[in-house]
C-alpha cells in the first residue's frame, strides 16, 4: 500500500511522526503514514516553484491530453480505488464507486474548459488584451468525507490554469488521495502536483508560507478562519468551502413517497457527512406525520455494516471525534424534550456506527437544529406559514445551500430568490454539477468552485495595453 508523500515527482516517506490510518468500520489499523518534517515542506514548495517556470508555459492541448489520460487511468483502476476509499473512509462500496466515477467526470469536464482572453480596441488605436494568468504555487487542504473526489475538485482547476499544486489530505483518509497523486504524477512533470502529510502543524505552515499564492480548503469554519488569518501577511487569496446547515422546506402539495425517498438520500448521503447534505427538515404541518412515517420506513430499510461487505447500504461515521460529536447532538436533543426515532437495525459490535436517526418534534433553538451535525441525524420541524421558515433559514450563520420541495415551481423560484445561500435546489438537494458555481455565503465560505468561474479563481488578471510606437 502506497503511504508516500510526493515531492518533485518522487515518492518519499515523511520524516515526522507515524500516524495510524484506521478502518472506521472495524477500528483496525490499516497502515501507518509519516507526517512531513518542516524541511520536507520547504523542499516541496521550492520544487513546486521551480516546476511552475516550466508548467506555466506548457501549451493547453498537452494539459488536456494529460488530464484525459489521468481520467482513463483512474477509470481503469476504479474497483481498487473504490475499495481503498471504503477501507479508510467507511462508505459503502457502491458509493465509493460513484465517488471515483464522479471524479473522472469532473476531470474530463475541467479538461474541456477554455481560459478566455478578452480583446478591446480604443478609438485612438490602442489595443488592450486581458489575460487570466496563473498564480504560482497553490496549497490544497482536503477533508475525510469525500477524500478522492474533493482532492480532484481542488487539483484539476488549479492545474488547468497552469499552477503547481501541493495537496495535504486529511490525516484520517490519506491513502486514496496518495493513490490519486501517484496517478497524476505518472502524467505530469515532476513538481507540478505534490502531496505532503501532516499531523497538526503542517497545514498551518503550508498556508502561511510566503511562496504559496493561494489556498483552497474544504473543512470546518474555524480552521477556514485560521487559514484566512494566515493569508493576511502575503495577501494570498483563498477559496474556503466550509460548514453548512442546509435547510429543506417541504410544502404541502408534494408526492410524499417520492419526496421522502429523495430527502432521505439528501440527508443521509455518506452517513450525513457531506457539507451539502440536507441538515434540517421543515415540513408543512398538514403532512408532517405522513413524512415522519415514510422517513421511518426509509431508515429501517438500511443495512448498516462494513462497506466492503455485500448488501451494506449504510457505513460508519469516519472518526472518533465525529462519532462523539454526533452522539452528543442526539443526547442534547433528548435532554431538551425531542423524540428520537432510530433505525431498528442492530449495530455492528465494532466501528463508529450510529443508526440513522430522526429527531422528531425538534425546535429551532435545539443544538441539533442550530449547528451542523455532519452525521446520520436529521431534525424535523413542522411549520404552518412558509414565510416564517424563510425567516428562520436566513437567521442561520451559515449560507451554503437550501432546498424547496413542491409541485409549484413558480412559487419555489420565488422562495429561492429570498433565501440567503450559495445554492438553492428545487425538488432535489446536494446534487452538484461541475458547471454550476458552488460556494457558501456567510460562515459557509469564501470564493467558489466549479465551472469556468471556479477555474478562474486560480488566475489573476493581466491587462496588456498596446500602443503603436
Ligand atoms: P478541520 O476543518 O479542522 O481541518 C483539518 C485539516 O486542516 C487538516 O488537514 C489540518 O492539517 C488543517 N489545519 C488545521 N489547522 C490549520 C491551520 N491553522 N492552518 C491551516 N491548516 C490547518 O477538520 P476536522 O477533520 O477536524 O473536522 C472538523 C469539522 O469540520 C467536522 O466536525 C465537520 O463538521 C467539518 N467538516 C466539514 C467538511 C466539509 O466538507 N465542509 C469536511 C470535513 C469536516 P494539520 O493536521 O497539518 O494541522
Angle ∠(210,214,219) on CA atoms, nearest 5: 115
Q: What is the pLDDT of residue 70?
A: 99
379's grid cell? 431534525
Looking at the predicted structure, is the pLDDT value of residue 345 above 90? no
Predicted confidence band of residue 460 (pLDDT cuts 50, 70, 90): very high
Quick one: average pLDDT of 273-299? 98
- Mean pLDDT in residue range 372-384: 98
Check pocket membership of 171 for ligand 1, CB cut-off 6 A: yes
Q: CA-CA distance, 253 to 451, in Å (whole number)?
A: 34
Q: What is the rounded distance in angstroms from the CA atom of residue 127 to the CA atom of residue 467?
A: 7
Identify the residue whose cell numbers are 468551502: 241
User: What is the number of the ligand 1 atom nearest to the C-alpha of 226?
Assistant: 18
pLDDT band with cut points at 50, 70 and 90 for residue 363 = very high
Predicted TM-score (pTM) of this structure: 0.98
- Measured in angstroms, how far is the CA atom of residue 217 from the centroid of ligand 1? 9
At how many degrees (to 10) do helices 78-89 and 147-160 cross?
A: 120
Contact at 8 Å (CB) between 431 and 278? no
Distances (CA, A) of 112 to 9, 178, 273, 424: 25, 25, 30, 26
Report the residue among 219, 233, 279, 401 best suited for mutation to probe ligand 1: largest number of ligand atoms under 8 A from its CB.
219
Mean pLDDT for all residues in the chain: 97
Angle formed by the axes of helices 409-418 and 386-395, nearest 10°: 30
Residues paired with residue 218 on neighbouring β-strands, in sequence order: 241
Q: pLDDT category, 133, cuts 50, 70, 90?
A: very high
Report residue 290 as a C-alpha cell. Answer: 405522513
**Does ligand 1 have an atom closer than 6 angstroms to the CB of 279?**
no
- Could you report the per-residue pLDDT of 92-114, keeping only the tens digit for each? 999 999 999 999 999 999 999 99
230 Cα–ligand 1 center, Å: 15
Is residue 48 scored above 90 in pLDDT?
yes
| List of long-range contacts for 327-332, beta carbons under 8 Å, 24+ apart | 327/354, 329/367, 329/368, 329/371, 329/373, 329/375, 329/377, 330/354, 330/357, 330/359, 330/368, 330/377, 332/366, 332/367, 332/368
CA of 60 to the centre of ligand 1 (A): 33
Whether the per-residue pLDDT at 346 is higher than 90: the answer is: no
Inform me whether the pLDDT recorded for 42 exceeds 90. Answer: yes
What are 129's three cell numbers?
Answer: 488584451
443 Cα to the center of ligand 1, angstroms: 15
275 in contact with ligand 1, CB cutoff 6 A: yes
| Residue 203 near ligand 1, beta carbon < 6 Å | yes
Mean pLDDT of 269-288: 98
| Mean pLDDT in residue range 39-64 | 98
Closest CA to 381 of 363, 408, 398, 399: 363
pLDDT in tens, 227-277: 999 999 999 999 999 999 999 999 999 999 999 999 999 999 999 999 999
Q: What is the reported pLDDT for 176?
A: 98
Q: Which atom of ligand 1 is nearest to the CA of 35?
A: 47
| Among 362, 299, 375, CA closest to 335 | 362
Distance CA 148, CA 167 (A): 12
Ligand 1 touching residue 223 (CB < 6 A) = yes
Taking the centre of ligand 1 as the mean of its atom positions, its distance from the CA of residue 188, in whole angstroms, is 28
Which ligand 1 atom is at minimum distance from the Cα of 243?
41
Q: What pLDDT, on the 0 to 100 scale, is given for residue 427?
A: 98
Residue 374, ligand 1, Cβ within 6 A? yes
Residues annotated catalytic, as ranges? 241, 275
Residue 254: its pLDDT value, please? 98
Q: At what angle do helices 256-268 and 288-300 cross, to 10 degrees?
A: 60
Residue from 376, 227, 246, 239 nearest 302 by CA: 376
With a 6 A CB cut-off, is 108 part of the ligand 1 pocket?
no
CA of 322 to the centre of ligand 1 (A): 12
Distance CA 416, CA 406 (A): 12
Atom of ligand 1 nearest to the CA of 274: 40
pLDDT at 64 over 90: yes
Percentage of the chain with pLDDT > 90? 99
Q: Whose CA is nearest to atom 46 of ligand 1?
A: 200
Q: How far is the CA of 220 from the centre of ligand 1 (A)?
A: 5
| pLDDT number for residue 239 | 98
The answer to whether the Cα torsion of 442, 443, 444, 449 is positive or negative is: positive
143, 150, 214: residue to mutate for ligand 1 pocket, most atoms within 8 A of CB? 143
* Spatial distance between the Cα atoms of 415 and 391, rounded to a whole number of angstroms: 11
Measured by CA distance, the residue closest to atom 29 of ligand 1 is: 220
Q: Rounded to the nearest whole angstrom, what is the distance from the C-alpha of residue 41 to the centroid of ligand 1?
A: 19
Cα–Cα distance list, 293 to 256, 297, 333, 337, 342 (Å):
10, 6, 20, 20, 12
Q: Is 89 in the pocket of ligand 1 (CB under 6 A)?
A: no
Mean pLDDT of 387-410: 97
pLDDT of 344 reads 86
Q: Does the Cβ of 168 fall within 6 Å of ligand 1?
A: yes
Amino acid at each position: 500500500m502506497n503511504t508516500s508523500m510526493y515531492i518533485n515527482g518522487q515518492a518519499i516517506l515523511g520524516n515526522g511522526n507515524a500516524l495510524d490510518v484506521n478502518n472506521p468500520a472495524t477500528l483496525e489499523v490499516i497502515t501507518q503514514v509519516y507526517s512531513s518534517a518542516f524541511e520536507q515542506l520547504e523542499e516541496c514548495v521550492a520544487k513546486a516553484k521551480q516546476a511552475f517556470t516550466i508548467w506555466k508555459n506548457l501549451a493547453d492541448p498537452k494539459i488536456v491530453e494529460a488530464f484525459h489520460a489521468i481520467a482513463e487511468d483512474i477509470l481503469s483502476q476504479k474497483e481498487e480505488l473504490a475499495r481503498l476509499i471504503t477501507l479508510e473512509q467507511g462508505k459503502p462500496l457502491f458509493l465509493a464507486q460513484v465517488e471515483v466515477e464522479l471524479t473522472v467526470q469532473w476531470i474530463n469536464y475541467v479538461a474541456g474548459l477554455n481560459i478566455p482572453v478578452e480583446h478591446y480596441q480604443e478609438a485612438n488605436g490602442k489595443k488592450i488584451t486581458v489575460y487570466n494568468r496563473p498564480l504560482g504555487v497553490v496549497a490544497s487542504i482536503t477533508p475525510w468525507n469525500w477524500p478522492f473526489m474533493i482532492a480532484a475538485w481542488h487539483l484539476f482547476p488549479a492545474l488547468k490554469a497552469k499552477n503547481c499544486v501541493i495537496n495535504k489530505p486529511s490525516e484520517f483518509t490519506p491513502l486514496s488521495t496518495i493513490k490519486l497523486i501517484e496517478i497524476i504524477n505518472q502524467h505530469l512533470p515532476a513538481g507540478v502536483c505534490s502531496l505532503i502529510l501532516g499531523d497538526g502543524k503542517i497545514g498551518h505552515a503550508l498556508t502561511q508560507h510566503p511562496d504559496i499564492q493561494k489556498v483552497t480548503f474544504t473543512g470546518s469554519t474555524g480552521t477556514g478562519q485560521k487559514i484566512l488569518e494566515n493569508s493576511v501577511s502575503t495577501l494570498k487569496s483563498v477559496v474556503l468551502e466550509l460548514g453548512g446547515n442546509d435547510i429543506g422546506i417541504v410544502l404541502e402539495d408534494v408526492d410524499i413517497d417520492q419526496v421522502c425517498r429523495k430527502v432521505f438520500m439528501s440527508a443521509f448521503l455518506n452517513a450525513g457527512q457531506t457539507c451539502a447534505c440536507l441538515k434540517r427538515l421543515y415540513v408543512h404541518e398538514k403532512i408532517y406525520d405522513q413524512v415522519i412515517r415514510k422517513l421511518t420506513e426509509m431508515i429501517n430499510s438500511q443495512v448498516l455494516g462494513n462497506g466492503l461487505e455485500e448488501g451494506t447500504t449504510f457505513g460508519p461515521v469516519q472518526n472518533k471525534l465525529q462519532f462523539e460529536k454526533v452522539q452528543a447532538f442526539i443526547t442534547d436533543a433528548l435532554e431538551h424534550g425531542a423524540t428520537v426515532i432510530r433505525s431498528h437495525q442492530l449495530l455492528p459490535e465494532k466501528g463508529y456506527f450510529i443508526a440513522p436517526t430522526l429527531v422528531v418534534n425538534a425546535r429551532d433553538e435545539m443544538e441539533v437544529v442550530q449547528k451542523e451535525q455532519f452525521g446520520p441525524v436529521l431534525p424535523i420541524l413542522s411549520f404552518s406559514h412558509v414565510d416564517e421558515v424563510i425567516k428562520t433559514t436566513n437567521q442561520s450563520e451559515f449560507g451554503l445551500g437550501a432546498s424547496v420541495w413542491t409541485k409549484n415551481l413558480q412559487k419555489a423560484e420565488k422562495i429561492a430568490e429570498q433565501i440567503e445561500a450559495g445554492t438553492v435546489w428545487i425538488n432535489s438537494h446536494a446534487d452538484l454539477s461541475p458547471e454550476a458555481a458552488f460556494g457558501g455565503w456567510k460562515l459557509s465560505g469564501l470564493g467558489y468552485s466549479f465551472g469556468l468561474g471556479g477555474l478562474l479563481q486560480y488566475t489573476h488578471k493581466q491587462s496588456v495595453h498596446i500602443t503603436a510606437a
